[in-house]
Structure 1
Amino acid sequence: MNASPRRKELTRQAAQLFVQEGFDRTTVRMLAQEMGIKSGSLFHHFRDKQEILAAVIEEGTQNALVIAHRALEKCDNSPGARFHAMARAHLETLHADRNAHVVALYEWRRLDVEARDHLSHLRDAYEALWQQVIDEALEAGLIHGDRFLVARFVMGALNWTVRWYDPQGPRTPDELADELLAMIRHGSA
């Protein structure tokens, strides 16, 4: 997809509007007004509203992958450090680029089949990275449980923070990642 600075800015503005109004209630006229352009000019940057939704989700997911890979490169190779790094990266991504992630979480089902097929590889790559870190923690005895359920519970808990966590509040993403690991940690491993 076109990655011009103007298109990226329009994508960020669209994400904010999709969060406020929901994808279905957001009209092309509303998007153009929010972006400070005429409705017809919007189609210079995007084919249609579906392409805007796909751009929002794609940018957010790509950013999440970059942040996760950087976090894993910087931490030591122990399963606990890698789990903490992924949880911290996920929280950073959710709150640094909150609108894109809220849209991805709640509006994914609104994507048309073509866009879903195009974006599935990014979502799958991110989930595979998480699954690798969870598998390492399970194999090391750091955590225990059914790998599918552990992954769903961890991702669900982290994703839900977009509803209650205040990045300006008293707890940092590092503290939240520590707390999550402490809650699911098995024994003293």
Structure 2
Amino acid sequence: MNASPRRKELTRLAAQLFVQEGFDRTTVRMLAQEMGIKSGSLFHHFKDKQEILAAVIEEGTHNALAIAKRSLDESPPSPEARLRAMARAHLETLFTDRNAHVVALFEWRRLDDSAKAHLSHLRDAYEALWVQVIEEALAAGLIHGDRFLISRFVLGALNWTVRWYDPAGPRTPDELADELIAMIMPAR
């Protein structure tokens, strides 16, 4: 991925437009207008609209991985603390890089096969962090059930917050993460 500041800015603007309009309804002309450049200039930075979509998802996934790894590094080593750290990191990703994350969630299916193949390792690396933390919590008896189902349930619940959570509402993202994790742990 070309990490030039200009390309990053263009990618950020594209993510915003993809969220507002959807990938399919967003035209190259709309992207260029949003970015403040001529349509032809867009192709100086990207091969096509598909590459822009892949860049948005790649950037967002790199950010999510960095936030999650940092959170785990800074977390106390207990399985419960690590589980809460991952939930908090996931919500931090959603709320600090919302557009890229929403695009990754709702437009992944629009990627062509080569982009999916290229980006799958990043998605898999992120999910592997979750699997590791969930396995630790299972081994410690903090949660019970099937690892795969728990990971899908937790990620699904956290991802869906982009639809309903109000950052100006009564719960902070950390409180929300703690409450969602508490829901999967048996009462003590």
TM-score, normalised on structure 1? Answer: 0.98
Deviation at 1:187, TM superposition (A): 3.8
What secondary structure sits across from 1:106 in the alignment? helix
State the shift of 1:168 in Å.
Answer: 2.4
- Which 10-residue stretch deviates more, 170-179 or 46-55? 170-179
Q: 1:70 maps to what in 2?
A: 70
Unaligned runs of 5+ in 1: none
Aligned to 1:179: 179
Alignment partners' CA distance in 1, 2:9 and 2:36: 11
Mind listing any 5+ residue stretches in structure 2 that lack a counterpart?
none
Which whole-Å CA distance do the structure 2 matches of 1:181 and 1:31 have between them?
A: 39
Contact 1:14-1:52 at 8 Å conserved across structures: yes
Q: SS at the partner of 1:141? A: coil
Cα shift at 1:146? 1.0
Distance 1:132 1:147, change over 3 A: same
Structure 1 segments of 4+ aligned residues over 4 angstroms from their partners: none
Q: Structure 1: which amino acid aligns with 2:159?
A: N
Aligned amino acid, residue 2 of structure 2? N
Question: Quick one: distance in 2 between partners of 1:169 and 1:44?
Answer: 42
- Residues 94 and 162 in structure 1, CA contact (< 8 A), matched pair in contact too: yes
> Take 1:45 and 1:169, find their aligned partners in 2: how far apart are those partners?
39
Q: 1:141–1:186: 8 Å Cα contact kept in structure 2? A: no
Q: Counterpart in 2 of 1:20? A: 20
CA distance in 2 between partners of 1:169 and 1:46 (Å): 39
Distance in 2 of aligned mates of 1:174 and 1:137: 19
User: What fraction of aligned residue pairs are identical, expressed as a percent?
Assistant: 82
RMSD of the alignment, in Å? 0.7
**Residue deviations 1:70-106 (CA, integer Å, cap 9, x gap):** 0001011000000000000000001110000110000
Cα distance in 1, alignment partners of residues 45 and 170 from structure 2: 40
State the partner residue of 1:131.
Answer: 131
Shift of 1:53: 0.1
TM-score, normalising length: structure 2: 0.98
Aligned residues: 188
Matching residue's letter, 1:7: R
* Aligned counterparts, 1:8-47, within 5 A: 8-47=8-47
